[in-house]
Structure 1
Amino acid sequence: MGPATRYFDLDEPFPLYRGGKLPGLRLAWESWGTLDEHRSNAVLIFTGLSPGAHAASSGQDPEPGWWEEMIGPGKYIDTDRFFVLCVNSLGSCMGSTGPASINPGTGRPWRLDFPDLAIEDIARATRLVVEDLGISRLHAVIGPSMGGLTTMAWLKQFPESTDKVSLISTACSATPMAIAIRSLQREAVVTDRNFRDGQYTEDAWPEVGMRLARKLGMISYRSAREWQQRFGRQFQDYFPPTLFGMRFKVESYLETHARKFVGQFDPCCYLYLSRAMDMFDACDGDNSLKALFRRSFTGKALVIGVETDLLFPLYQQRELAKALEASGSEVVFEALPSLQGHDAFLADIDTFGPPIRQWLQSG
């Protein structure tokens, strides 16, 4: 982890949403900006599946973060005005406790012995960091992609704990299409000959499975229209041709991203977080989405999506906006024009930034 990363340690059992418990946990977090006198200017950002807590650079760590163009002094999420907090998700491998962590009972990585993880667990663990910082109420919670699921899990468990909520390229639950894609990604990993029921080693990593999973992910994160404009039928000369493949530029694009991912993310952490996304249903404790929001949030909401999103289709964001509005919240819904699919919130900052800044700074 970078020099700006800090840690919260819980040295007592942490019960989990679907049963089981962890004997303790560690959460990696980073922050930008300064808490005001009343600790009322805190903005919490939940991450997607794979990012860590390093959302932006800082004086302590100049390495660009995963939302670098969004967060910082004078940027769309202005750290001259707000104290911005990002916590690496419970279950991840970017500094927080997860399947790649050492099980204190065995002295070996948890791997498949890690208890069943739910999105609700991620939200409740994050609450520990927020409370440790002395923040009783947040100015805003922002959740893109899986972070949007975690935002709804936060509201479900901690009603009326924030003035503002932004749900970005997300939904109350996964569609069959999204489940099918993630199911195939998990199958690619667990059927890799090196996976060995989670007993893989650094010398025998399930690289093929992780590469294929990442390629499937990249296909679902972007849009066909973007790739038509960007790649067309151009040939590539970066990688050697393979049997029946690696002729086209789009193939080398997928291979480049796959190779980067293999060494960056632990396979079991990937499996647990992926399954948690599929299993999440914001309404599992309420009879409707409207009922959930009615009891958990009455503030200013921003819901954003793009029509080219395959994983979280735009109609799902419309459903969120309608339910928030019906429950009494003041809602801004933005259907943004972007070709970059689900990844648009990361890749098209010029389009996503202005509505976020306007909503965040509104009274």
Structure 2
Amino acid sequence: MDARIYHALPSPFPMKRGGSLHGARVAYETWGRPNPMRDNAVLILTGLSPSAHAASCPQDTAPGWWEDMIGPGKAIDTDRWFVVCVNSLGSDKGSTCPASIDPATGAPYRLGFPELSLEDVADAAHAVVRDGLGIERLACLIGCSMGGMSALAYMLQHPSSVRAHISVDTAPQAQPFAIAIRSLQREAIRLDPDWNEGNYRIQGWEGGDTGAEDGQPDGRYPDTGMSIARKLGVITYRSAMEWNGRFARIRLDPEQREDQPFGAEFQVESYLQGHAQRFVRTFDPNCYLYLSRASDWFDIAEYGDGSVLEGLKRIRIEKAMVIGVSTDILFPLEQQEQIADGLRAAGAEVEFVALDSPQGHDAFLVDIPNYSRAIGGFLARL
């Protein structure tokens, strides 16, 4: 069964960098119930690839991407909180995205989709909360990874709409290392001949895409480019400590090795290949490109005359918890400290939590005991 709920965005829905969407929608899921005052809502904004299915529910019993964090008696306690998780605008997990049908043409948007910013993601999520759910002010806004940047945009663009904030492994702006990695991921996709300038076979779309003439898809799909992009991502999501501890220099058994020159010989290579194979057909390549570039573009300094601190000082909330991991190379700990300092300078009561989890950027998905302790404790004090 499908637990997703769909909210129709205002039409036209203007985009920050120009253009607009018509007939767009956003997918979301909920857990728990709003109280009579409708002041117990917790909104979760996700990283680049997750769907709105953060936890299981009667309508969809499959485990969610934050299954051990959300539910009755868990850190995000659905006996107390009305929890909402929104699928990002531009993602192919139910929200309008480059793989969606453009009502003006009857065919997928592909690269005709307007340039996407994380401010657009934030505005779409705010429309769900205010117009779809009738909630004027969130009890807490939680942003993870890319979703943390979207959360900062949400609070800047919609003042007084959030009481408290939990920032999880994110950044106020992309640093050169993160931009460089995402640039390589995008290049791997774009240089795959089967990407075909965005005109590959979109999963589930059949209308009109029957041949290769005039740049139209011919059934091919950029598996190789997506595979390399995913491998690059996975490498940066974990730490060297994690890789050393899990794989060391262990080689594959002879019968497991690839029978070709320079094929996989080490267990870590096989692990990356398996991870990539599970991902490549589950996320649309053009959506990946759009959301990746949106992450590079986001810069809270734009709101503070070139200063990250001044941009953060424009956010008005009561309380915040900022969580970072010492082994995160993609969103390093000093960026979490920047966020904490900026929110504190803005007048918020801020708790800063620096964890030593060995899992790197992915720690918030893996090190549930430490994150549960921090997030659950913060929410219990609200």
2:225 matches 1:209 = yes
Match of 2:244 among 228, 245, 251: 228
Which secondary structure does the structure 1 equivalent of 2:57 belong to? coil
Q: In the alignment, is the contact (CA less than 8 A) between 1:301 and 1:331 conserved in 2?
A: yes
Q: How does 1:136-151 map to 2 (within 5 A)?
A: 136-151=136-151
Q: Match for residue 83 of structure 2? A: 84
**Within 1, Cα distance between the matches of 2:51 and 2:110?**
19
1:314 matches 2:333: yes
1:95 equivalenced with 2:88 (yes/no): no
Corresponding residue number in structure 2 for 1:164? 164
Report deviation, 1:325. Answer: 1.4
Shift of 1:299: 1.1
**2:64 alignment partner in structure 1:** 65
SS of 2:11's partner is coil
1:152 counterpart = 2:152 = yes
More divergent stretch after superposition (279-288 vs 314-323)? 279-288
Residue 149 of structure 1 contacts residue 170 of structure 1 at CA under 8 Å; is this kept in 2? yes
Amino acid in structure 1 at the alignment position of 2:111: L
- Higher mean C-alpha deviation, range 177-186 or range 236-245: 236-245
- Per the TM alignment, residue 167 of structure 1 is displaced from its structure 2 partner at its CA by 0.9
Which shows bigger deviation, 346-355 or 85-94? 346-355
1:107-126 aligned at under 5 Å gives the runs: 107-126=106-125
1:333 is matched with: 352
Measured in 2, the distance between the counterparts of 1:279 and 1:119 equals 8
Distance 1:326 1:285 in 2: 15
Given that 2:52 and 2:93 are in contact with CA atoms closer than 8 Å, whether structure 1 keeps it comes out as yes
Q: What displacement does 1:292 show? A: 3.1
Amino acid at match of 1:283: A
Contact 1:235 1:249 in 2 (8 A): yes
The residue number in structure 2 matching 1:356 is: 375
Q: Contact between 2:230 and 2:279, CA under 8 Å: does it hold in 1?
A: yes
- Return the TM-score normalized by structure 2: 0.92
CA distance in 2, matches of 1:281, 1:25: 25
1:108 Cα deviation after fit: 1.1
- Equivalents in 1 of 2:186, 2:105: separation in Å? 26
The aligned runs of 1:251-270 (5 Å cut-off) are: 251-270=269-288
The 1-side partners of 2:180 and 2:57 are apart by 39
Shift of 1:160: 2.1
* TM-score (ref. length: structure 1): 0.97
Whether 1:275 aligns to 2:290 is no
Tell me if 1:345 matches 2:364. Answer: yes
Between the aligned partners of 2:9 and 2:53, the Cα distance in structure 1 is 21
| Equivalent residue, structure 1, for 2:188 | 188
How far does residue 362 in structure 1 lie from its aligned partner after superposition? 0.6
SS of aligned partner of 2:303: coil
> Hey, what's the Cα distance between the residues in 2 that align with 1:333 and 1:320?
9
Structure 2 Cα separation of the partners of residues 305 and 71 of structure 1? 20
| Cα distance in 2 for residues equivalent to 1:331 and 1:128 | 27
Counterpart for residue 51 of structure 2: 52
- Paired residues in the alignment total 362
Output the amino acid matched with 1:185.
Q
Say if 2:26 is the partner of 1:27: yes
1:24 Cα shift?
2.4
- Aligned-partner SS, 1:298: coil
**Is the 1:290–1:327 Cα contact (8 Å) retained in structure 2?**
no
Quote how far apart the aligned CAs of 1:319 are: 1.0
1:188 is paired with a residue of what secondary structure?
Answer: helix
Cα RMSD, aligned residues only: 1.2
Q: Deviations over 1:106-149 (max 9, x none)?
A: 11111111110000000001111101211000000000100100
1:264-304 per-position Cα deviation (integer Å, ceiling 9, x unaligned): 00000000000000010012122333333433223111001
User: For the Cα contact (< 8 Å) 1:99–1:110, is it kept in 2?
Assistant: yes
1:152, distance to aligned residue in structure 2 (A): 0.5
Partner Cα separation in structure 2 for residue 173 and residue 127 of structure 1: 21
Q: Give the deviation of 1:354 after TM superposition.
A: 0.5
Q: Distance in 1 between matches of 2:309 and 2:297?
A: 20
Provide the C-alpha distance between the structure 2 equivalents of 1:30 and 1:181, rounded to a whole number of angstroms.
Answer: 31
Match of 1:285 among 303, 311, 315: 303
> Given that residues 241 and 247 in structure 1 are in contact (C-alpha distance below 8 angstroms), is that contact kept between their aligned partners in structure 2?
no
The residue aligned with 2:212 is: none
CA distance in 2, matches of 1:210, 1:21: 28
Per the TM alignment, residue 241 of structure 1 is displaced from its structure 2 partner at its CA by 4.6
Deviations 1:89-119 (A, max 9, x none): 0000000000010111111111111110000
Conservation of the 8 A alpha-carbon contact between 1:156 and 1:282: no
Matched residue SS, 2:279: helix
User: How far apart in 2 are the matches of 1:9 and 1:148?
Assistant: 24
